[in-house]
């Protein structure tokens, strides 16, 4: 009997179109898998079995009636809990939103629903997407399917773990500084942060509005391209949405899969390797470069001297924007309200609600952001960070004059142990050294699994492209994936230990 949870979304779509399986069967198989392994993985905060099966039955009926459907119709998906879903609880991993059920759908959710993808549920995440390990969730840890004692990355650890554990073939993530790509790297999955403005932010609970971007989390590069085309494109409800159509992403992924990169210039970013990177991560990176070269790519070295300051600039800009975005969680409008017993004035209710509703990392960043934006310090901190941001954008422009895509390891290390970095915020922040520059410049990035480090854990390879040239990510990513899978004789995830199924 075919195990439908092991197929890629593209393969499932084919089987569904050919009538070899129904969406109800595929959706039920994933719900069964969730029931069997999510006790151990804890990728989901909420499973919407009934709603998913209803969507699946509807798609099956429409298909049977001969209706023309979206290519991914009937393929189930999981959605990060920072994305609002009408009628489904949405917490952003925070206690302050416990019990909140949004009255509307994010644009990307509307598109998913219109295309007929059953939504399996909402995935765990660091509170308000602040973190690199999902340990800052108010609802407990998510565990890495490769080793349950380790972090699944963050903030989108739930989406990555769900896909890696075959609980969902597709998931939605959001990436403000790396939260799609870094979880992808440490779980052996594919993750893409699209060009800023290419996927609507309408209905994402904003962390840092100038950096946030939603994107696909999948097991193959082609699946990411299919999902990106579905959720992307102009949205009048998002004032920063790019008006022109997306480039042809699926076509680029299919072209890349033939493994020919003749004429493609690949720029290796000198500053994103060496010190601080695990030897096994660097070894896999060098081997992948050799593969790309054999595929016909021209490898050049580029320098981005200001990337050194990216982390510093990010940790001023991001908290500044977050402190403003999170001001609306005041106990008056959404979710939790804590009323102190004596003298419950509005101000004291707000203060008690925020005091109890937010976790330590959120408080740390709200305090930092409020400070950086305060009169007298604004120019010194926020203003300087914005200048650094411009310098990083110029580094990218200069580098893209020499290369079609830029590459680096996605994350400096493999998945660390749960608890290992929890008391050391700076060590946690360092996970994103290689991913943050793309957010500061608005350029797209993809992480594709490129092997196991010496510790037997997965490593990711990052590809970056100029804004609006997301198609290049898919071409290069798919080529590398195809070449690596030839070597491995199948996907990297096939080398992950089997999770014990308990029912
Ligand atoms: N880890 C980074 C942070 O903590 C990035 C988070 C994200 O991309 N949402 O801010």
Q: Give 422-470 pLDDT, tens digit per residue.
A: 999 999 999 999 999 999 999 999 999 999 999 999 999 999 999 999 9
Which tokens in the block code for residue 207? 């962390």
Nearest CA-CA partner of 69 in 106, 31, 14: 14
For 344-393, write each residue's pLDDT tens digit.
999 999 999 999 999 999 999 999 999 999 999 999 999 999 999 999 99
What DSSP designation does 100 have?
-
| pLDDT reported for residue 475 | 98
| pLDDT reported for residue 335 | 86
For 201-249, write each residue's pLDDT tens digit.
999 999 999 999 999 999 999 999 999 999 999 999 999 999 999 999 9
Cα–Cα distance for residue pair 8/220, rounded to 1 Å = 7
Mean of the pLDDT values across residues 46-59? 98
Nearest CA-CA partner of 132 in 193, 65, 194, 179: 179
Q: Is 432 in the pocket of ligand 1 (CB under 6 A)?
A: yes
Q: What is the mean pLDDT of the chain?
A: 97
Domain limits of the chain? Answer: 4-260+273-307+389-491
174 CA closest ligand 1 atom index: 9
Cα–Cα distance for residue pair 26/9, rounded to 1 Å = 11
The residues near 62 (Cβ < 8 Å, ≥ 6 apart) are: 69, 73, 116
For 121-170, write each residue's pLDDT tens digit.
999 999 999 999 999 999 999 999 999 999 999 999 999 999 999 999 99
Q: Is 215 in the pocket of ligand 1 (CB under 6 A)?
A: no
Mark whether 155 is an active-site residue: yes
Neighbours of 470 (CB within 10 A): 29
Sign of the dihedral through C-alpha 193, 369, 275, 392: positive
For 302-320, write each residue's pLDDT tens digit.
999 999 999 999 999 999 9
pLDDT above 70 as % of the chain: 100
For 98-118, write each residue's pLDDT tens digit.
999 999 999 999 999 999 999
414 pLDDT higher than 80: yes
Mean of the pLDDT values across residues 14-22? 98
Q: Is 75 in the pocket of ligand 1 (CB under 6 A)?
A: no
Distance of CA 436 from the midpoint of ligand 1 (Å) = 8
Distance of CA 58 from the midpoint of ligand 1 (Å) = 37
For 169-214, write each residue's pLDDT tens digit.
999 999 999 999 999 999 999 999 999 999 999 999 999 999 999 9
275 pLDDT higher than 90: no
Pocket test for ligand 1, best of 128, 179, 183 (most atoms within 8 A of CB): 179
178 CA closest ligand 1 atom index: 8
176 CA closest ligand 1 atom index: 8
Distance of CA 365 from the midpoint of ligand 1 (Å) = 11
Phi, psi (degrees; rounded to nearest 5) at 42:
55, 50
Q: Is 208 in the pocket of ligand 1 (CB under 6 A)?
A: no
4-260+273-307+389-491, what's its fold? Amidase signature (AS) enzymes (3.90.1300)
Mean of the pLDDT values across residues 475-480? 98
Pocket test for ligand 1, best of 92, 314, 432 (most atoms within 8 A of CB): 432
Give CA torsion, residues 149, 155, 158, 162, to 10 deg.
-90
Q: Is 119 in the pocket of ligand 1 (CB under 6 A)?
A: no
Nearest CA-CA partner of 190 in 200, 206, 175, 204: 175
Crossing angle between the packed helical segments 279-294 and 470-488, to the nearest 10 degrees: 100
- Residue from 179, 224, 241, 453 carrying the catalytic annotation: 179
* H or E element at residue 294: helix 279-294
70 pLDDT tier (thresholds 50, 70, 90): very high
| pLDDT reported for residue 333 | 87
| pLDDT reported for residue 266 | 98
Q: Is 93 in the pocket of ligand 1 (CB under 6 A)?
A: no
Cα–Cα distance for residue pair 90/72, rounded to 1 Å = 24
CA-proximal residue: ligand 1, atom 5 (nearest): 177
439 CA closest ligand 1 atom index: 8
| pLDDT reported for residue 502 | 86
Cα–Cα distance for residue pair 185/451, rounded to 1 Å = 10
For 487-503, write each residue's pLDDT tens digit.
999 999 999 999 999 87
Neighbours of 300 (CB within 10 A): 13
Pocket test for ligand 1, best of 137, 157, 176, 185 (most atoms within 8 A of CB): 176
Pocket test for ligand 1, best of 83, 129, 186 (most atoms within 8 A of CB): 129
| pLDDT reported for residue 229 | 98
């Amino acid at each position: 009997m075919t195990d439908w949870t092991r197929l890629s979304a593209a393969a499932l779509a084919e089987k569904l179109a050919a009538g070899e399986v129904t969406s109800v069967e595929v959706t039920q198989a994933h719900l069964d898998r969730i029931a069997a392994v999510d006790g151990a993985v804890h990728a989901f905060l909420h499973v919407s079995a009934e709603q998913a099966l209803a969507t699946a039955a509807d798609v099956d009926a429409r298909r049977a009636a001969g209706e023309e459907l979206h290519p991914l119709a009937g393929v189930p998906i999981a959605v990060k809990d920072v994305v609002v879903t009408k009628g489904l609880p949405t917490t952003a991993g925070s206690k302050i939103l416990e019990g909140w059920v949004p009255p509307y759908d994010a644009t990307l959710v509307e598109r998913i629903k219109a295309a007929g993808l059953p939504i399996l549920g909402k995935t765990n995440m660091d509170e308000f997407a602040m973190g690199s390990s999902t340990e800052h969730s108010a609802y407990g840890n998510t565990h890495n399917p490769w080793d349950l004692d380790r972090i699944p990355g963050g903030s989108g650890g739930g989406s990555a773990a769900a896909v890696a554990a075959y609980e969902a073939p597709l998931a939605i993530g959001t990436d403000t500084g790396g939260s799609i790509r870094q979880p992808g790297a440490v779980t052996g999955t594919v993750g893409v942060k699209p060009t800023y403005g290419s996927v609507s932010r309408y209905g994402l609970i904003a962390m840092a509005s100038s950096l946030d971007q939603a994107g696909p989390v999948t097991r193959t590069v082609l699946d990411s391209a299919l999902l990106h085309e579905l959720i992307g494109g102009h949205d009048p409800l998002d004032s920063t949405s790019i008006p022109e159509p997306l480039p042809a992403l699926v076509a680029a992924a299919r072209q890349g899969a033939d493994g020919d990169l003749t004429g493609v210039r690949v720029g290796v970013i000198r500053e994103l390797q060496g010190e601080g990177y695990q030897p096994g991560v660097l070894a896999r990176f060098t081997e992948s470069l050799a593969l790309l070269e054999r595929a016909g790519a021209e490898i050049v070295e580029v320098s981005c001297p200001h990337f050194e300051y990216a982390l510093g600039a990010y940790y001023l800009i991001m908290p500044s924007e977050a402190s403003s975005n999170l001001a609306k969680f005041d106990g008056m409008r959404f979710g939790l309200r804590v009323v102190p017993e004596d003298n419950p004035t509005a101000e004291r209710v707000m203060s008690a609600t925020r005091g109890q509703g937010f976790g330590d990392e959120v408080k740390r960043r709200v305090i930092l952001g409020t400070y950086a934006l305060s009169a007298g310090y604004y120019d010194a901190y926020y203003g300087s960070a914005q200048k650094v941001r411009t310098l990083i954008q110029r580094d990218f422009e200069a580098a893209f004059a020499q290369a079609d895509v830029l590459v680096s390891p996605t994350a400096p290390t493999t998945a660390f142990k749960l608890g290992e970095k929890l008391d050391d915020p700076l060590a946690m922040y360092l996970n994103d050294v290689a991913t943050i520059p793309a957010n500061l410049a608005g350029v797209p990035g993809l992480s594709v699994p490129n092997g196991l480090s010496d510790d037997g854990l997965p490593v990711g390879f990052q590809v970056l492209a100029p804004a609006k040239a997301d198609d290049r990510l898919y071409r290069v990513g798919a080529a590398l994936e195809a070449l690596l899978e030839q070597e491995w004789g199948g996907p990297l995830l096939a080398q992950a230990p089997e999770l014990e199924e308990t029912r």
